[in-house]
Structure formats: structure tokens, C-alpha cells
Structure 1
């Protein structure tokens, strides 16, 4: 599914404004691939698709693409918020490279920022939601020197 460029530009502008991350030309955004749920789960978690059962979208840093559930209606603010979330990850990736996605701590911080932006986007569109609430229960294993 091709997502209309003006929509991509609008959602990118929201991601930049709400995150404070450096912007980028909309033409340099990764392609967005809309997939059926089962294919999305197999694409993101090929060795254990069940781990991705609740997944709606993901930014694939290795292939530089965003994959999303094809049931999303991107004309709906709630559904579009998932693309805004993934665009934050794209901006993070362009800003810091893969280092922001390699350690447990970096991944949690990356998700905190993306969920904060997603929730701010939803509030701007009069949507009551608290995406990422479970993130507060995420912890990284203690490092050897911390034990």
C-alpha cells in the first residue's frame, strides 16, 4: 500500500515537533509496508512469531522500512499514531545510528520517547490513550559489575 506523501509529511512534521529530534526530508523516509497480522508477526519475530502477537507496527533498522498491520486506517488519528511512533524511531536512527537500538537501556529509552510522542499526538487529536503504559515495568538485566 502506498501511503500518500502529504500524509507522510504531516505525520513526520508531528514526530519532529513533538520529539524535538532533528528533522529530515519526507522523501527520505523509509517505505511503509502494510502486512496482514500473521505476516507482520513472522516478519518482525521470525523465530517466535507469538512474541509479536500484540505488535501493530515496527521500524526495521536493517532493511530501513516500517512494517505495519494492514488493518490500520491511517486517516484515523489513533491508527496514525502508530506511524508517528515509528517515525520517531526513524528520526532516532538517523540521529544516533544503530547505537540507540543495540542495548537494553537504549531500546527502553527509545521506546519511552516514541510512546511519549505518540501519546502527545493522540492528545492533540482529542484521543484519550496511554500507549506504552507497560513500559514502566520493563527493566534491563543487572550488569555483571552491578551485582
Structure 2
């Protein structure tokens, strides 16, 4: 598999420096650390939302700083710590997501397909479950 995302001597002073990582297509990565250790900052650097103090972020071998960031970001997904839900039920939320331009090509989903999605997200709820009392983690899993 080809390199999808790579960092070369990435730095964001004073949080970290000299970070060299390579993510290949299909990789699943967990970024963990204490509060304030730079996890969100690092993700913003990878997505081109922040400029590094040194080093490079390459997406499909292209330097994010030198190319149209909008075109690059269309292929990247960043879920912020705050996970906004716009509707009242899981079913409504899934309908909303599949109407977005980015996912419209996937078409509407049947009730069975939606339940599969919920099971994959480790949400043991029915589709008519309200989202107003979801924990932060449950909201993030649904957003993902």
C-alpha cells in the first residue's frame, strides 16, 4: 500500500519536534496522551488547519503547505472534540449524514443498513433512540 499521510521532522514548538510518521492506506491509528500534550494540535497539523513551526506534512506525497488546502482537505476527515448532533434521533442523524454532498453518492440507507452502521459504531441503540442524552463518546462514535 502507498503512503497516504506522512510527517517529516514535524514540529510545533514547544509541544513536540522531530516527529516522523507514515500512515498507509487502511491504517487505523489511535492517538493517546494526557490533556494538553498536543493531540488536537497534532491532528490540526495533519489536516492543514495549523502550520508547523518546522517540518513537512505530506498527503499522497504532496506538501500540504504548498498545495491547495481545500482540495487536500476534501480527502481528510477531522472530528473535533465537540461532536454536534443536529437532529433528535439516530435515524434522523443518519438520514442527514447521507444527504450531505460528500456522502450523497452512497444513496439513502435502509433500516437494516442503518442498524449495521450502528452496530459497527458500537452503539447498541435502536434507530429511534434520541440523541439528547448521549455521552461525549457516544456522540463521537455516531459522528464517525
Q: TM tier, shorter chain?
A: under 0.3
Considering fraction of residues, name the structure with more helix. 1
TM-score (norm 2): 0.26
Considering fraction of residues, name the structure with more strand. 2
Higher normalized contact order (CA 8 Å, seq sep 6+, divided by chain length): 1
